[in-house]
């Protein structure tokens, strides 16, 4: 378990890890237990009057050094940290703290997409800030500080499957949002301000043509890929690249290979024999990459409720990463650099909505949720922060939901996706909606720049994206629907044609049913911490709904349990 903690007037002596270090600066107690895999990117300076903490990986470090004509990263970083727009110029996955007594500065920051989390607790003269939610809970309990469950967190989990805004399961602990920094004013820890230094913007540049868009996307994507893969090269690491049957991870691996980064291990996991296995295996073979596949039919990851909620800080469903955690456990991570993913590529290069009126209309609650079983009311003020549905979806579902799997991966190595590169995102979201929608731009980019990548089936359509693919896909999907109907009504079994056929596994495996039901019976006492109406509805959801709904409830129970277990 990695992370850092900075505290004032709170005892953190309970924290003890074999390789951890502790520092004391001007009344601030600092605990440091970081992976430091990219040690030339990180900065840890603790001395009288100064705290300079930068954890993670900076993908544009070399660019900044060349631009500013500096040779020493720490020197340049400390200059950048004092600028008003800090840390907007950095690219990568990072977080940290800057404290300068002489300049009356105390800034806590996370990166643009928030996949390197920061949590904070303030009460009168007490302050606790950490990159690890579990450390926060451990310290607050040790200091006998009253903690309570955030009722909204449970409702978010059983509907959306992840936390919205700054909510955690613990009401007293808040999360620093993506692209946000926190400034503490003077010596009073209760006087602080939250500043949004970066926000995604999808204002269209209607002057961009389709041809120009393709060139912009290609240049931007290749730049983002270079930043990531050159970081591996800088440290002498081998490239670890996710690969599935979709387009996103395919294009990360494909474009990197095209740019000369050929020493890749492609990793994949799904139900044995599903499209993701077949397609990823064919692509890896074509590119002459090493390949490792983990089949999920043993379903062992479904037993990992408390391990995953520990690693993802209860920020999202425990079953979302499926086999990823167990696969990473099996690798010798010492030889690999970043884990390169294709996170939220569809949302950035294409669109969440296929109609422009929907995309740019006011956001509403209840769309694109994991479960519609419960109809919950949420704080409407959240919606007012976003100009339209796409921005709400990218920030909440993309950054806070999908990217929470990075927390799990960061137990093994640093992780990055070229689609999350800030400069690339800004390019894509400025392209007119009509060019981006329905994967139009995505597919035309591949067709023009990397046509061989279309010679492999796309899992979403079940056909190769070549001439007549739309018609072929419709015919294929009709066949799949007929098969599904036969399975459901004739063979009386659940749908199996999926990467993770949860309902089928649950219906066929007595041990899985027994485990999930036992976990519920043994831990449902923690639902008593919820208000009666919510508790009754969530209990009803587990007892009368499907397997996915049951696992959402169990994730919520695990989130509440962490607050109250000694």
Q: How many helices (DSSP H) and strands (DSSP E) are in the chain? A: 21, 19
Name which of 303, 321, 297 is nearest 311 in CA terms: 321
Stated pTM of the model: 0.96
CB 245 within 8 A of CB 275: yes
**pLDDT tens-digit profile of 222-234?**
999 999 999 999 9
Average pLDDT over residues 323-341: 97
Q: Which burial class, exposed, middle or buried, applies to 78 when counting CB atoms under 10 A from its CB (0-12, 13-18, 19+)?
A: middle
Average pLDDT over residues 276-298: 97
The Cα–Cα gap between 183 and 104 comes to 10
In the chain, the N- to C-terminal Cα span, in Å, equals 18
Cα 428 to the center of its chain, rounded Å: 19
pLDDT at 351: 95
Percentage of residues in the chain having pLDDT higher than 70: 98
pLDDT at 77: 98
**pLDDT tens-digit profile of 95-114?**
999 999 999 899 999 999 99
Helices 248-258, 275-287: inter-axial angle, 10-degree rounding:
0
Identify the band that residue 157 occupies on the pLDDT scale cut at 50, 70 and 90: very high
The Cα–Cα gap between 319 and 324 comes to 10
pLDDT at 188: 66
pLDDT at 6: 98
pLDDT at 491: 67
Alpha-carbon torsion angle 461, 464, 465, 469, nearest 10: -70
Reply yes or no on whether the pLDDT at 39 is more than 90.
yes
Reply yes or no on whether the pLDDT at 156 is more than 70.
yes
The Cα–Cα gap between 488 and 218 comes to 44
DSSP H or E stretch at residue 539: helix 532-544
Name which of 49, 50, 46, 42 is nearest 31 in CA terms: 46
Average pLDDT over residues 398-416: 98
pLDDT at 416: 98
DSSP H or E stretch at residue 535: helix 532-544
**pLDDT tens-digit profile of 363-386?**
999 999 999 999 999 999 999 999
Average pLDDT over residues 532-550: 97
**pLDDT tens-digit profile of 226-275?**
999 999 999 999 999 999 999 999 999 999 999 999 999 999 999 999 99
The Cα–Cα gap between 321 and 269 comes to 10
DSSP-based three-state secondary structure for 438: helix
Average pLDDT of every residue of the chain: 95
The Cα–Cα gap between 388 and 404 comes to 23
- Give me the sheet containing 126-130, strands edge to edge: 21-25, 28-33, 3-8, 126-130, 119-123, 174-175
pLDDT at 378: 95
The HSE-up count of residue 57 (CA atoms within 13 Å, CB side) is 26
Task: Compute the Cα dihedral for 544, 547, 551, 554 and give only its sign.
Answer: positive
Reply yes or no on whether the pLDDT at 495 is more than 80.
no
**pLDDT tens-digit profile of 437-482?**
999 999 999 999 999 999 999 999 999 988 888 888 888 878 878 7
Give per-residue burial for 491-520: e unless 16+ CB within 10 Å, then b: eeebebeebbbbbbbbbeeeebeebbeebb
pLDDT at 507: 92
The Cα–Cα gap between 241 and 506 comes to 30
Region label for 49, one of left (φ > 0), alpha (ψ between -120 and 50) or beta (otherwise):
left
pLDDT at 71: 96
Question: If you ran DSSP here, which 8-state letter would residue 162 be given?
Answer: B
pLDDT at 483: 75
Reply yes or no on whether the pLDDT at 497 is more than 80.
no
Strands 192-196 and 50-58: unpaired
pLDDT at 187: 64
The Cα–Cα gap between 367 and 166 comes to 20
Percentage of residues in the chain having pLDDT higher than 90: 90
pLDDT at 30: 98
pLDDT at 47: 96
Name which of 68, 425, 37 is nearest 235 in CA terms: 37
Name which of 91, 98, 139 is nearest 113 in CA terms: 91
**pLDDT tens-digit profile of 178-235?**
999 999 986 667 789 999 999 999 999 999 999 999 999 999 999 999 999 999 999 9
pLDDT at 92: 98
Average pLDDT over residues 330-342: 97
- Contacts of 401 by beta carbon, 8 Å cutoff, 6+ apart: 160, 161, 162, 316
pLDDT at 474: 84
Name which of 133, 90, 179, 151 is nearest 394 in CA terms: 179
The Cα–Cα gap between 437 and 356 comes to 8
């Amino acid at each position: 378990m990695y992370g850092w903690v900075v505290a004032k007037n709170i005892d953190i002596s309970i924290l003890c890890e074999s390789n951890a270090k502790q520092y004391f600066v001007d009344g601030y107690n600092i605990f440091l237990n970081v992976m430091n895999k990219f040690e030339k990117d990180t900065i840890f300076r603790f001395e009288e009057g100064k705290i300079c903490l930068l954890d993670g990986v900076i993908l544009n470090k070399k660019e900044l050094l060349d631009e500013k004509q500096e040779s020493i990263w720490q020197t340049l970083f400390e200059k950048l940290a004092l600028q008003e727009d800090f840390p907007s110029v950095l690219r990568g996955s990072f977080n940290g703290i800057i404290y300068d007594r002489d300049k009356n500065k105390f800034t806590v920051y996370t990166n643009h997409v928030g996949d390197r989390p920061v949590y904070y607790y303030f009460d009168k003269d007490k302050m606790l800030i950490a990159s690890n939610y579990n450390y926060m809970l451990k310290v607050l309990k040790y200091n006998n500080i009253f903690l309570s469950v955030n009722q909204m967190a449970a409702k978010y989990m059983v509907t959306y499957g992840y936390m919205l805004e700054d909510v955690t399961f613990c009401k007293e602990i808040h999360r620093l949002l993506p692209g946000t920094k926190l400034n503490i004013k003077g010596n009073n820890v209760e006087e602080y301000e939250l500043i949004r230094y970066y926000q995604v913007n999808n204002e269209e540049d209607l002057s961009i043509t389709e041809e120009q868009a393709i060139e912009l996307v290609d240049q931007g994507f290749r730049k983002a890929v270079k930043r990531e893969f050159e970081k591996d090269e800088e440290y002498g690491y081998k490239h670890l690249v996710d690969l599935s049957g979709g387009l996103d991870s395919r294009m990360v691996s494909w474009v990197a290979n095209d740019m000369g980064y050929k020493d890749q291990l492609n990793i994949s996991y799904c139900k044995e024999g599903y499209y993701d296995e077949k397609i990823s295996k064919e692509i890896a073979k074509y590119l002459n990459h090493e390949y490792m596949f983990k089949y999920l039919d043993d379903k062992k990851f479904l037993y990992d409720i408390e391990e995953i909620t520990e690693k993802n800080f209860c920020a999202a469903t425990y079953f979302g990463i499926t086999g990823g955690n167990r696969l990473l456990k099996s690798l010798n991570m010492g030889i690999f650099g970043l884990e390169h993913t294709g996170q939220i590529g569809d949302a950035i290069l294409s669109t969440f909505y296929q109609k422009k009126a929907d995309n740019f209309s006011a956001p509403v609650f209840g769309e694109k949720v994991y479960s519609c079983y419960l109809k919950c009311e949420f704080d409407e003020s959240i919606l007012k922060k976003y100009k339209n549905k796409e921005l709400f979806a990218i920030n909440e579902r993309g950054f806070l939901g999908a990217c929470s799997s990075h927390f799990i991966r960061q137990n093994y190595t640093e992780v990055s996706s070229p689609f999350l590169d800030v400069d690339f995102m800004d390019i894509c979201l400025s392209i007119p909606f009509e060019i981006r929608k329905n994967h139009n731009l995505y597919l035309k980019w591949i067709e023009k720049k990397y046509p061989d990548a279309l010679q492999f089936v796309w899992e979403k359509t079940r056909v190769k994206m070549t001439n007549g693919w739309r018609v072929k896909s419709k015919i294929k999907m009709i066949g799949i629907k007929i098969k599904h109907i036969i399975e459901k009504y004739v063979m009386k079994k659940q749908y199996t044609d999926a990467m993770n056929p949860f309902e089928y596994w649950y219906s066929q495996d007595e041990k899985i049913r027994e485990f999930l039901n036992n976990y519920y019976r043994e831990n449902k006492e923690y639902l008593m911490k919820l208000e009666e109406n919510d508790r009754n509805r969530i209990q009803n959801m587990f007892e009368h709904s499907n397997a996915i709904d049951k696992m959402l409830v169990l994730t919520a129970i695990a989130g509440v349990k962490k607050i109250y277990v000694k």
